[in-house]
Structure 1
């Protein structure tokens, strides 16, 4: 009864806001909220989600100055998407207990790692060391009933999303084989030096919310990715990518694929990371660089990226809840003692880590020479954009745009369908776990909450989570790409 009354009260507040506080919103929003507040909880909840969706559509606007040419590199592949439980059963492995492996060496390692993340409902990516064993598994996956082939790799996926904007020219550099080249949007430019004779394949083992295998039950839909991918693992096209920028003349560079080097062993990644930093440093300083992070397990490798190597020379990063917590654990940041998130990540704890990143490794420290001024965080229930004041504009629209595309793409639709999504974000929260900040709340009619800590501004918006997602792969890449499209760089740091 209390919950029903609370929802009714929240909806009543939304009506008041619609009438008095936000006149630019369309009047048709009002019919989603009954004047008496006596609808059933299910109807009220669906109405609430429709209000949020329609508010997004009304409030999200492109920035005044938009990107015209974006260069993206350097990981690309063909994704083979298949039922994780179905494939493992076809490989004649029995269910059992889960165990994480930094590198997979066998079918047994694959099964244990898959179960480990499935029982947590968490996404992960691992390197499979045995080339021949991987080929046998890949063949079985491609032949499995219902298996589907898609464009894969963070760079290629972000390119595909960016290419949906007709006025935006996109360059993609990565190991592009014939099958992938055929699947790419015709608007995407691929430099000749990036083409190769064979494709790299990644296997995407998906599972549904509530799906069970043995004693393991998935709390939510997600996927486990693995591959034996040497070209992407060595970032073999990075130098080709940087060399192509002089002719292409981008106004934004998007970089991904660093996580692929981790599985190649310390000796290789130590040397290759130095070469990567040297190559990235050759990019003109007036061109902003966005770094898209992905799942990693080696704390030394993550520390090299953070402290000594890559993070200080990029302007923006995108990451999810696992990557955020691991980054803090590797660097001794806030809440590093947490072994994992317990359910929906606490907004205040997320805010603490984001602030630490921008102060320790970015420009939030006035004495720092680092370029990093923006972090785009995404998790299933909500997104947060944290930016150092004075460098980025239109970030409220950017974070809402990222959440909107997560909702629609997961359900496989062009727009958000309120009947197919549900609100899982906290209705009230605190902007810090370590500081005594005032409580904040979600307003469905203006679904972005902003707060400041020092010279960093945070924008948070809920995600309308798809109840029956059709595909979870690539959501993070679509979120980051969409957020970048709606972002405006106000200034560049001086040399």
Structure 2
């Protein structure tokens, strides 16, 4: 035994002497010498670096919300495989075509294919109640169909209710099934309760899923409904009447997109009602508006220019909604038909700046209240704020990105093996000159830049490789971003 140990020690001494006195010894020779074993240290992935950094930069604001009122769209979501349901409805694959309003199963198929081949989310109104009910029954009976809380307001309310210190008021058409599924922490005024539920059908598709010649570039969903209660924003007056007694610190409004399919006369009247209602909210209470998919440019223009947008403090939207907003108002890059992949950061920055300058309060002399926009797309998020009005936005945009990853994967914490970084590591602050070249540091994963008096915060999203559910991600993102946001007390709106 001692001879073997002595031989090993002598060999190690000789190898060490030869190696250190002949550093240029050819590798061919060294490979025959048993050099001491060096444990290999694997370099952490970018996904690991970012998820670790989030734990440090996501900090609670100094002043937190205590009471949040949310309204006014709520429903029950039935989530099914889009391709599977359409096949069950005896639909064959074909050519995609967008429809502003769906009038038939054929319209549904064409609109679904149109957005599936782009990997984009969309929402449409189905005009024929009888046909819709038949499709809804087929969806509910489809194998693997899942039932969830639905509607932007209800989904935002559910997310906010996950914070035990927060009181949440929800106004919307709440039927028995939805009421049963809501978090017990959510307060629903008796006037919001109704005898039947409103159902929305969510047709999901997976990344790479194929139907005929159509192949989805990424996972997403197509939503449609015949929802008259939400379509008329029937809970709006109840919502506003509840605010005096509830005394919220923050108001979140959603559901305007539901009115689009009801016809111009109706939405013109109800938009004016919405403006009056929002104007009645105490000036010290900020209002956040959550937008959703729309197709009527006149309607979007009314929201943007004449009606709602100037009197809210904050808005949340995705890439389709942002581009359509610019197209409706002939803003920057309005000639762009679609994003065609990950939206260019410079173009996104141009449109966000335009919204805040044309319809917000970037000019201190402006009477508009809009000072914050939370933009989210699959690969990254951007928070754009007028200087002096909001605090803790680094944490807010990172928190929104983190919840997009965890909720899509159905996890409480990030699993770096189940996510992938798709955000650009280098980009420009604008698509046109003058523009600044920027880079994203994974160890400090929020890039910050300024244009005029607007500050932009960009956070990458760790995209879930196999998402369990895409519905409601935008609502969770906006809710989380608001929870980590702080409005400056000397700038209450």
Say yes or no: TM over 0.5.
yes
CA-to-aligned-CA distance 1:15-36 (integer Å, 9 cap, x gap): xxxxxxxxxxxxxxxxxxxxx9
Do the aligned residues in 1 keep the contact of 2:395 with 2:484 (CA within 8 Å)? Answer: yes
1:361 corresponds in structure 2 to 359
Structure 1 CA distance, aligned partners of 2:492 and 2:292?
30
Matches within 5 A, 1:436-447: 436-447=434-445
Q: Distance in 2 between the 1:461 and 1:493 partners?
A: 25
Tell me the residue number matched to 2:326: 328
Q: What SS does the corresponding residue of 2:45 show, helix, strand or coil?
A: helix
Take 1:494 and 1:195, find their aligned partners in 2: how far apart are those partners? 33
Cα distance between partner residues in 2 of 1:438 and 1:272: 43
Looking at structure 1, the residues matched to 425 and 53 of structure 2 have their Cα atoms a distance apart, in angstroms, of 16
Q: What's the secondary structure of 1:72's corresponding residue?
A: strand
How does the TM-score come out when normalised to structure 1? 0.91
Counterpart of 1:156 in 2: which secondary structure? helix
CA distance in 1, matches of 2:231, 2:367: 30
Q: Report how far residue 492 of structure 1 moved.
A: 5.9
Question: Which of 258, 274, 290 matches 1:292?
Answer: 290
CA gap of 1:146–1:494, structure 2 versus 1, over 3 A, is closer
Deviates more, 1:398-407 or 1:271-280: 271-280
SS at match of 2:424: coil
Tell me the residue number matched to 2:171: 173
Q: CA deviation at 1:248?
A: 0.3
Aligned to 1:378: 376
Corresponding position of 2:95:
97
1:217 lines up with 2:215 in the alignment: yes
Counterparts of 1:54-453 in structure 2, within 5 Å, are 54-453=52-451
Q: C-alpha separation between the residues in 1 aligned to 2:373 and 2:309? A: 11
Contact 1:392 1:491 in 2 (8 A): no
Residue 226 of structure 1 aligns to a residue in which SS? Answer: strand
Q: For the residues of structure 2 that align with 1:441 and 1:209, how far apart are their CA atoms?
A: 28
Point out where structure 2 has 5 or more consecutive residues left out of the alignment.
1-37
C-alpha distance 447-132 of structure 1, shift in aligned 2 (>3 A): same
Deviation at 1:494, TM superposition (A): 7.3
CA offset at residue 48 of structure 1? 1.2
Aligned counterparts of 2:220 and 2:330: Cα–Cα separation in 1: 28
Shift of 1:59: 1.3
CA contact (8 A) 1:371 1:493 kept: no
**Distance (Å, rounded) in 2 between the aligned partners of 1:105 and 1:132:** 11
Secondary structure, aligned partner of 1:157: helix
Question: Could you say which residue in structure 2 is the equivalent of 1:469?
Answer: 467
Mapped contact 2:421–2:463 kept (Cα < 8 A): yes
CA deviations on 1:325-360 (whole Å, 9 max, x unpaired) are: 000000010010100002100001000000000000
Q: Deviations over 1:403-445 (max 9, x none)?
A: 0000010000011110000000001001111232221101011
Q: CA deviation at 1:276?
A: 1.4
1:88-131 Cα shifts (integer Å, max 9, x gaps): 00000111000000000000000000000000000000000000
Distance in 2 between the 1:104 and 1:241 partners? 29
Distance 1:361 1:491, change over 3 A: farther
Alpha-carbon offset, residue 186 of structure 1? 0.4
Tell me, yes or no, if the aligned pair for 1:286 and 1:492 is still in contact at 8 Å: no
Cα pair 1:78 1:199 within 8 Å, conserved: yes
Report the alpha carbon displacement of residue 491 of structure 1 after superposing the two structures with TM: 3.4
C-alpha distance in structure 2 between counterparts of 1:417 and 1:229, whole Å: 38
Equivalent residue number for residue 29 of structure 2 = none
Return closer, same or farther for 1:142/1:494 CA change in 2, 3 Å cut-off. Answer: closer
- d(CA) in 1 for partners of 2:169, 2:270: 23
Q: Give ranges in structure 1 of 5+ residues lacking alignment.
A: 1-35
For residues 118 and 410 of structure 1, the distance between their equivalents in structure 2, rounded to whole angstroms, comes to 18
- Write the distance in 2 (CA, Å) between the matches of 1:97 and 1:91: 17
- Say if 1:494 and 1:55 are closer, same or farther in 2 by CA, change over 3 A: closer
